Amino acid sequence: MNSRRDFLQKLGISALALHLAAVPGWANGEDHHDKAYDGPVLRVAIMGLGSYGERVANAMQACTKAKLVGVISGTPSKINDWQRKYGIPEKNCYNYENFDGIKNNPGIDAVYVITPNGLHHDEVIRVAKAGKHVICEKPMAVNAQEGQEMVDACNAANVKLLVGYRMHFEPKTLEVIRMRKAGEFGRIKFFQGQCGFTIGDPAQWRLNKKLSGGGSMMDIGIYAINGSRYMIGEDPIWVTAQETKTDPMKFKEGVDETIQFQFGFPGGAVASCLSTYSMNNLDRFFLDGTDGFAEMQPSTGYGPIMGRTHKGELNQPVTVHQTVQMDAMSDIIFNGLQPAVPIDGNEAVKDLKLIDAIYLAAKTGKKVEVRL
C-alpha cells in the first residue's frame, strides 16, 4: 500500500457501484433525486493528473452542476490520455509553465489544484491572479502563514477559494452533525479520531518534507483535525502532542511517522487523536455526549461510510463523495449555498494553525494555546 489514496480506495472499492445520489441535503430529509437542474454549470480544469485527480474526474461524470473541461499537467502523455477519455479540447490543455494563460480562456471557471502540498501555495496564487476560482486539495498549504497568503490572494483577485473537504457533504456525517446541533447527544464530552495506514514506497512525495510539508499529519491526520471540529462543533483552545518514530531511515527529519495529539475545547470537551503512517485498520471517529454517542467506522474512506448512534444504525444513502462535493461547490460559487460546515480557505487556515500547534507541542512537550 503506497499512499492514503490507496488506503481510502481499499476502504471504498465499491463506492461507484453503490452510488445512489450526487446531491447534498440527505441529512435534512430532502429528496432532490427527480428534480432536473437547469442552472449554471461550473466548468473545471484539474491541475495534477495523479490518482486522486483521476478519481475526481471519474466522479464528475455524474455531476449535474459541474463539468470537467480542462487539464493542467507537466506530463504530455497524461494530457493526451485525458483528452481522449474525457473529451477535453486542445484549447483547454495547459502545462505548469503556461497555465497563467488560462486568464484568457472564458471556457474555464475554476481550477482544482490536486498536486503535492508544498506546491499548493504558489499554484493557487497563480490561478487567483489569472482570475479563476480555486479549489484546492487539503491540507491547503504546509503552514498557516502560507494558507493565509493564499486566502489573501484570492480575496484580492475577487475569486472563491474552496477546499476539498468532501466529508462536509457526506450524508451520514451530516446526520451526526444535525443530531449534535439538535442536542440529541446532550453536552459533548469527548471525541476520538484515529487515522492511519502503513505507507509504502519510501521515495514517494508524501515522505519528502519539501513536497509534503511533513508526514502523516500532512496527509491522513487532517481528517481527525477537521473531524474533531465539525463533530464537536467548536474550535480547540489548546493542543498537546507526542511524536513516535520507529524508522528514522524511512521517516527522516521533519517527516512524522506517528503523532498522538489532544485538543481542549471551550465547552469542556476534549479530543484524543492519532495520525500514523505505520499502522493499519485506523479509520474511526467516536463522539460521546451526556445523552448519547456516535461512532463511524469507516469514517472518512472513499467508499460507504458506516456508523451508528445510541439511536441505531445510520442508514443515509451512500454517495460518491467527489460527485456530491463538486455539485455543491458549483452551488457555493454560483448560487451562494452555505454548507453545514464551511469549506472555504478560512476554514482551511484554522486546520493549518492546528497543525502548526501540533508540531510545536510535539517538539516542545508543552501545551500550546491556540486562537482560531
The CB-based long-range contact list for 297-302 (8 Å cut-off, 24+ gap) reads: 298/11, 298/12, 299/193, 299/223, 299/227, 300/8, 300/167, 300/195, 300/223, 300/227, 301/7, 301/8, 301/10, 301/11, 301/12, 302/8, 302/9, 302/11, 302/12, 302/15, 302/55
User: For residues 258 and 242, is the Cβ–Cβ distance under 8 A?
Assistant: no
| Neighbour count for residue 27 (Cβ, 10 Å) | 20
* Terminal C-alpha separation, the chain: 35
* Residue found by looking up cell 485538543 in the block: 263
Among residues 112, 223, 230, 359, the one annotated as catalytic is 223
What single string gives the DSSP state of each residue in 154-202? HHHHT--EEE--GGGG-HHHHHHHHHHHTTTT-SEEEEEEEEEEE---T
Among residues 65, 132, 138, 172, the one annotated as catalytic is 138
Helix (H, G, I), strand (E, B) or coil at 110: strand
Helix (H, G, I), strand (E, B) or coil at 288: strand
Among this protein's residues, is 138 annotated catalytic? yes
| Neighbour count for residue 17 (Cβ, 10 Å) | 9
Nearest to 176 by CA among 318, 308, 20: 308
Among this protein's residues, is 65 annotated catalytic? no
Integer Rg of the chain from CA: 20
- Active site (catalytic) residues: 138, 223
